[in-house]
Amino acid sequence: MTEETQARKRTHKRIWLALAALVVLVAVLIVPPLVSVSRYKRSITQLISASLGRPVRLSSVNVRLLPRPGFVLTDLTVDEDPAYGAEPVLHANTVTAYIRLLSLWRGRLEIGTVSVDEASLNLVRTSGGRWNLDPLLRTAAAKAAPGPGGAEPYRQINLPFLEATNSRINIKNGAEKLPFSLVGAEISFWQQNPGDWRVRLRGQPARTDLSLDLADTGMVRLEASLRQAAQLRLVPVHLDLEWRDAQLGQLTRLVLGSDSGWRGDLTGELHLDGTAEAAQVKTRLRATGVHRSEFAPAAPLDFDANCGFVSHFSRWAIDKLVCDSPLGNGHVRLSGDLPGEGGQPHFSVELDRIPAAAGLDALRTVRNDFGPGLEASGTASGKITYAAADVDPDADRDAGQHTPKKPAHPGKSRLAKTHPAVKGPLTGSIAIEGFQLSGDGLSTPLQAPKLLLEPVAAPGNQPQALTATVAIPSGGVGPLTITARLALAGYQLTVRGQSSITRARELAHVAGLKNVSALDALAGEPITVDLSAEGPWMPAPRLAFGDTLPGAATAPGVSPAVVATATDSLTGTVTLHNANWKADYLANHVEISQATLHLNPGEILWDPVAFSYGPVKGTASLSLPVQCAAPEPCPAHFQVQFGDLDADLFQAAFLGAREKGTLLSTLIARLRPTAAPAWPRLEGTVKADSLLLGPVTLRQVTATLRFLESGAEIAGLDAGLLGGHVHGAGTFHTAGSAQDKPTYALQAQFEKLSPPAVGQLLGQRWSGGVFDGNGKIELSGFTGKDLAASAKGAVHFEWRHGAVGAARGPESVPPALARFDRWTADADVAGGSVTLKQNQVQRGGRTAEVQAAATLSDPAKVVFVTPKETRAKR
């Protein structure tokens, strides 16, 4: 063939291609407007509805010729079966349905591919365990199934290839939409061969109620194939599921709703072959870089667990379960059977040189505040088997009968029949060799050469558990004996023995108990401990140790343990002997000769506490509530009993001396910061046999106090005074800085005071009826001289049928006071003296006014001025 002929053929070929392109272009521009697709809308709707077995609605249909002929469906909605809810099972704004061209030659319209973008799919599970996709799959299978005798009555409806991109899959439990969803999902569903279905899925897990970094939740991929069967439970299934690159912190937030504190990368795989009746399942769970967020260990706790079992989904049973995983330098193996439907499970756990650090990390999983700086060494090996005991059928039958069973042999009673004791379901043991716990503030590591975890008989109806006992030297005469009982549901722990306060503080910190710093203020001889704790593993509660009084850095309510949540229970006693305790808001140490702490549900009680504070001695009790409904912390309640008190000594002891030369100044003077430390919140009662206030002594004193951050309120004060009684209230504020002085504000009512006692106080001879009055006064200072000089206020009194006589002669007393029927007066307190103001002395029909002033000194001095006498008007 000549070159000219070949060139001519190439030219003809280009012309034909150009004409074909022109025809296609003309068809694209001219044909769609001329084709009326409104008549296809109903056909397409019926076709999709028949394929899915659900009512289908759409807004409009448009024709598309390129790149493939098809229809563009707008606002497609596939309604849900009412048995699964009212919300549509599928909704998409735009759907493209591509036509099977060959079907047009046969005179039928068939959809080959349905492509959906940005769709929303709802997966619904009913309370009975059925999914809303079950009817869809059954309908699809029915449409593809051959008819009787090999006929194909349904072949006129060929199911399309379904695909969705950039879509969202929501999960519902009945009518409730769960927060879990799959976003950015790509889904494909098609029939590869008659009765042979394929499913492909890819997406990212998310939660609608949390803000998650989707890049760290990993990617889920699923590929599955299903074959047609007479019943859904007999459908053969092959499924491959993979969840890759999930970050543990975000994964726990996704599943549990909160970050459990773990870091690392997780990859999970699941492979299933079989039917719902019997499926062979293989799983693999790999984790790398696993560690707690609080610290980065030298060797991360990585694992690679492989499991295999036969699952019977219809009766929720598992057979031939075997899981193996290396862990550290050791290995763990789990095997067993879970028969389901009331059958007794049987499984065993075998450990081979598993590092103790793995157990410590497991404990941190459920108690995320437990000793983040702790390090554990040692290995655990052994095997524990769980096998439920068989039930004697004869015993069950006999228990349900009311008539005695005939003896099997003559002369032998049925009561003589005995059954062997039923053994517990747990057998075996686990030995921990070379156990050592160090770090996190432990001055000396906790060591146990060998620990043995083994099952023991459980008291009452409690389930059997593993127990271990270890004795730990803790600085006491004897060791601390710790017994642990570990069950699947929770733990029980008893601690008995003696421990130094320093070691107790370290152990409390290791246990993750809060406010351990409160023990820093306590020192002395070893304490005696008898404590019991129990609680569930999850959720992780917080235990409070040495809970300080609210509002203070430390407080006299130092306790070895305080339950801060209702899920754990801690009971027992802690006893102190010859200890001392120091708080920032006190001037000196409190010497405690003996104190007992009682830990009760809902209450922490110190009772009794025998203490001395300088020259002040007394006994006390202190109650600390564990929980409080109010938004503010609950105040502690106390009761203190003193013997005979001297106010000067009491004030100097608790507030500190400020002037050189005052009593106990060399003993208790101390440096104070610019701002005085805040007092704790306390409410309670103080009692004293007597209280010496300079020349005045109060008897059987009872005061109700409420301590504030910078002082106290005296809600009620009752005491015997000068042969009578006084009732009052007031406030007290501590010094704010080194230049300030404590201030007092008091108001009181005194009744039935003895005139001889009052006169003796003033250096006079008084007699007659009772003396009543009331008053208000404000004072400040550390010494009696300061208090007297700063006193200011007002006093009112009334005295009936009395007489006043001078101690050094009658000339110093006004005649009107020699004998009177009634004397009422108001007086001002200021400048260290009490000055009479408006007053009236009445005798018969005469009244007089007395002018007098008394100095607030020891002894007090009274100066009278002769009053003017007036005759009373008739």
pLDDT for position 83? 81
Give the residue-averaged pLDDT of 120-133: 80
In a domain, 276, yes or no: yes
Residue linked to tokens 């007002």? 794
Which of 53, 86, 96, 60 is CA-nearest to residue 75?
60
CB 192 within 8 A of CB 227: no
Q: Would you state the pLDDT for residue 107?
A: 52
In the structure encoding, which two tokens stand for residue 324, read together?
């193996």
- Do residues 199 and 236 both lie within one domain? no
Residue 747 lies in a domain: no
Residue 300 resides in a domain: yes
Provide the phi-psi class of 650: left if phi over 0, else alpha when psi is between -120 and 50, else beta: alpha
Does one domain contain both 485 and 507?
yes
The pLDDT value recorded for residue 859 is 73
- Counted domains in the chain: 4
Q: How confident is the model at residue 867 (pLDDT cuts 50, 70, 90)?
A: low
Closest CA to 719 of 732, 709, 730: 730
**Phi and psi torsions of 136, nearest 5°:** -60, -45
Q: What is the mean pLDDT of residues 644-664?
A: 58
240 Cβ contact partners less than 8 Å away, ≥ 6 residues apart:
222, 223, 224, 269, 270, 271
CA nearest neighbour of 119 among 52, 186, 180, 168 = 168
Q: Which tokens is 158 given?
A: 């060929």
Kindly state whether residue 5 falls inside one of the protein's structural domains.
no
Asked if pLDDT for residue 395 goes beyond 70, the answer is no
Q: Which pLDDT belongs to residue 729?
A: 92
Q: What distance in Å separates the CA atoms of residue 749 and residue 717, rounded to the nearest whole number?
A: 10
3 located within any domain: no
Provide the greatest CA pair distance for the chain.
Answer: 165
Confidence bin at 283 (pLDDT 50/70/90)? very high
Whether residue 555 has pLDDT greater than 50: no
Last residue of a domain, one of 634, 656, 678: 634
427 and 490 belong to one structural domain? no
Confirm if 744 and 727 have CB atoms less than 8 A apart: no
d(CA 31, CA 69) in angstroms, rounded, equals 12
d(CA 131, CA 128): 9
Residues 196 and 289 in one domain: no
- Per-residue pLDDT, 689: 92
Give the separation between CA 300 and CA 292, rounded to whole angstroms.
Answer: 9
Q: Which residue has the higher pLDDT, 800 or 396?
A: 800
Residues in the chain: 874
Q: Which range among 43-47, 204-208, 219-223 shows the weakest confidence by mean pLDDT? A: 43-47
Could you tell me if 765 and 804 are in contact, meaning their C-beta atoms sit under 8 angstroms apart? yes
Tokens of 447: 């060591």
Q: Are residues 142 and 73 part of one domain?
A: yes
| Interatomic CA distance for residues 555 and 562, integer angstroms | 14
Residues 486 and 506 in one domain: yes
Q: Are strands 869-871 and 262-274 parallel, antiparallel or unpaired?
A: unpaired
Q: Find the mean pLDDT for residues 813-836.
A: 87
SS3 track for 738-783: CCCCCEEEEEEEEEEECHHHHHHHCCEEEEECCEEEEEEEEEECCC
With tokens 């060959």, the residue in question is: 102
Can you tell me the mean pLDDT for 690-702? 86
End-to-end CA distance of the chain: 164
Find the helix or strand (DSSP H, E) in which 668 lies.
helix 665-668
Question: Poorest-confidence range of 596-600, 630-634, 674-678?
Answer: 674-678
Which residue range is the domain that position 278 belongs to?
210-218+229-390+423-440
Q: HSE on the CB side for 595, CA within 13 Å? A: 31
pLDDT at 460 > cutoff 50: yes
Domain presence at residue 529:
yes
Token pair for 538: 């999850």
Q: What pLDDT score was predicted for residue 80?
A: 85
| Nearest C-alpha neighbor of 549 from the set 590, 606, 608 | 606
Does residue 411 have a pLDDT over 60? no
Mode of pairing for the β-strands spanning 330-338 and 120-125: unpaired
Structure confidence at residue 178 (pLDDT): 85
Reported confidence tier of residue 472, pLDDT bands at 50, 70, 90: confident
By three-state DSSP, how is residue 715 classified? strand
Give the 3-state DSSP-derived string for 187-236, with helices as H, strands as E and coil as C.
EEEEEEECCEEEEEEEEEEEECCCCCCHHHCCEEEEEEEEECCCCHHHCC
Residue 417 pairs in a beta bridge with none
pLDDT recorded at residue 393: 41
Structure tokens at 579: 């200890």
Same domain (yes/no): 147, 46: yes
Q: Which of 559, 475, 545 is nearest to 510 (CA)?
A: 545
Distance of alpha carbon 419 from alpha carbon 447, whole angstroms = 44
In the predicted structure, residue 105 carries a pLDDT above the cut 60: no
Local confidence band at 269 (pLDDT 50, 70, 90 cut-offs):
very high
For the segment 422-433, what is each residue's pLDDT rounded down to a tens digit? 456 888 999 999
User: Rounded mean pLDDT of the chain?
Assistant: 76
User: pLDDT at position 351, please?
Assistant: 93
Is residue 30 predicted with pLDDT exceeding 60? no
Boundary-marking domain end, from 602, 634, 666: 634
Q: What backbone phi and psi angles, to 5 degrees, belong to 324?
A: -130, 140
Q: Pick from 761, 758, 775: which is nearest to 859 by CA?
A: 761
Residue 645 domain-assigned (yes or no): no
DSSP 438-457: EETT-SS-EEEEEEEEEEEP
What is the spatial distance between Cα 94 and Cα 79, in angstroms, rounded to a whole number?
16
Same domain, 149 and 238: no
Whether residue 184 is found in the same domain as residue 45: yes
Name residue 209's amino acid: D
Highest mean pLDDT among 36-40, 383-387, 815-819: 383-387
Instruction: Please report the pLDDT score of residue 795 as a whole number.
Output: 92
Angle at 510 between CA 252 and CA 636, to 5 degrees: 95
Contact 480, 498 (CB under 8 A): yes
What confidence score (pLDDT) does residue 513 get? 61
pLDDT grade for 360, boundaries at 50, 70 and 90 = confident
Distance, in Å, from the CA atom of 859 to the CA atom of 342, rounded to the nearest integer, reads 93
Structural domain contains residue 585: yes
Q: Which of 573, 607, 634 is the last residue of a domain?
A: 634
- 428 plus 516 within the same structural domain: no
Give the span between the Cα atoms of 421 and 426, in whole angstroms.
Answer: 15
| Per-residue confidence (pLDDT) for residue 255, from 0 to 100 | 79
Tell me the C-alpha distance between 721 and 545, whole Å: 44
Q: Is there a single domain that holds both residue 382 and residue 485?
A: no
How deeply is 408 buried, as exposed, middle or buried, from its count of CB atoms within 10 A (0-12, 13-18, 19+)? exposed
Of 62-71, 628-637, 657-666, 719-728, where does the model show the most confidence? 719-728
The pLDDT of residue 294 is above 70? no
Q: Residue 610 has what pLDDT?
A: 93
Whether the model pTM is above 0.85: no
The vertex-456 CA angle with 454 and 457, nearest 5°, equals: 165
Whether residues 202 and 214 share a domain: the answer is no
